Amino acid sequence: MTKVKALDAEKERRLQDIVKYFTAKDFEQVVELGKKFTENFPNNGAGWNLLALGYKNTGNVEKAIRIFKAMIKSAPKTAMYHSNLGNAYAAIGKIRQGITSFKQALKLEPSAINATEALGIAYLELNKTGDAIKCFKRVIKLDPNNRDSLYYLANIYLTDRNWEKARRYLPKTSHRLSKSHHLECLLALEEKEEFFSKYQELSSEGVVDPLIGAVISHGEQLFEVPINNTFCNNSLDHIYLGRIGSEDGFSDELAQQLIDFHHSNKNDYRSQNLLKNGFQSSGNLFLLREPFVPELKLAIERQIERYRQNFQTSGQGFLTLWPEKYSLFGWIVSINSEGNLDAHMHKEGWLSGSFYLSLPETEAASDDGKIAFSLCGPRYPVGGTVFEKKVLDIKQRDICMFPSSIFHETIPFKGEKERISFAFDVIPDL
């Protein structure tokens, strides 16, 4: 074997090693091997691409963006680099810059499925539903069995309460929440017998997620039949209120930096139909390289462990099946006078929480500005059922955590001071 062939073989072997770790989602190792590979083979685009993806998935998104920009400069007609840059922008809430990159990728490669789908997701963030539908239908035309675009399209119909149309799409996708959404459709259409039959089928298959937990909690009261909830029974009893003080490592100065970042317009705000007179940040704030992030992440991780210890003997599915690996996804919601956030739940999460950075001044006996919990899904039928609503008294620096299956909302308030909370989800790595 010649020296050149031996070098090529060595390069290919090392590249495949990085791919192997990337497939296994061992992104720390991807970064470690990627740095060494690009030092030895600085002109290899595949190595740089993997290194950038490793940085993105380990939270160093800004470094990933710098690499993708350099790659585009050296190979401007490579659609994948533009698409990957767009995904990096979207991850940290720079949605419009992401859209520009996705469009450039599609200009170079019109049939690029990943870029088309990512563009559709970005449009959803900005509430451009019509544009998003066009993207997802384009993907399905290119790949009729594409599970994600089929799922995203079904979700748009679910949001519009077009239950019949949604359930025509759901059986076509293998997305992990599609079966639970099918059960949701049966509940919304009040098809009682099929609802119980489907839940028995899903239970026997071991399907456990926050959405199925929410659907069963509502269905149990609507149909007045006791049902064992595989995610969490008596979920209102699993609400936890703690506190993150300066002594926990997250100072008042860092809290103010977090608020200032939200007001800075560095990232795009996410279009949020449930939010009235307020703003919600885009992207995952835990991925930012801002000074407040490490201490905030550490403080919240400690609180999550306290939550688990507090309910360690409850025996509920979401605790006994706690994900071995998970990611934290965080965002900020700010609400002004006479605003509120309507009832919703976090189907992609596992455990959800809110850390209160600023609260309006209200009368002691008033519920204004507080958080309220219920098992009542706002889009589901209620018949004559009266659902309990649990209102939690909260103060600045409090942290509230609860199973992601619970519907929750903020109560409108009046006053000059903003209501600002840092919300987060524990999301299983699947």
Q: Where are the domains of the chain?
A: 3-157, 175-234, 236-428
User: Residue 268: pLDDT above 90?
Assistant: no
Residue 56 pLDDT class (50, 70, 90 cuts): very high
pLDDT score recorded for residue 370: 96
Residues 6+ apart with CB under 8 A from 389: 372, 373, 374, 376
- Is the domain spanning 3-157 CATH 1.20.140.10? The answer is no
User: Residue 7: pLDDT above 70?
Assistant: no
Q: What are the b/e assignments for 242-276, b being 16+ CB within 10 Å?
A: bebeeebebeeebbebbbebbeeeebbbbbbeebe
pLDDT score recorded for residue 362: 81
Amino acid at 129: T
Half-sphere exposure of 357 (CA within 13 A, CB side): 24
Q: Tell me, which fold does domain 236-428 have in CATH?
A: Jelly Rolls (2.60.120)
pLDDT score recorded for residue 151: 95
Q: Cα(226)–Cα(237) distance, rounded to whole angstroms?
A: 17
Q: What's the whole-number mean pLDDT along residues 43-55? A: 95
Q: Cα(323)–Cα(321) distance, rounded to whole angstroms?
A: 6
Q: Cα(404)–Cα(426) distance, rounded to whole angstroms?
A: 9
User: Residue 36: pLDDT above 80?
Assistant: yes
pLDDT score recorded for residue 403: 98
pLDDT score recorded for residue 361: 86
User: Could you identify the residue written with the tokens 């903003």?
Assistant: 418
Give the predicted TM-score (pTM) of the model: 0.89
Q: What's the whole-number mean pLDDT along residues 324-337? A: 95
Residue 55 pLDDT class (50, 70, 90 cuts): very high
User: Residue 266: pLDDT above 80?
Assistant: no
pLDDT score recorded for residue 6: 66
User: Residue 84: pLDDT above 90?
Assistant: yes
| pLDDT tens-digit series, residues 376-402 | 999 999 988 999 999 999 999 999 999
Residue 136 pLDDT class (50, 70, 90 cuts): very high
Residues 6+ apart with CB under 8 A from 264: none
pLDDT score recorded for residue 2: 67
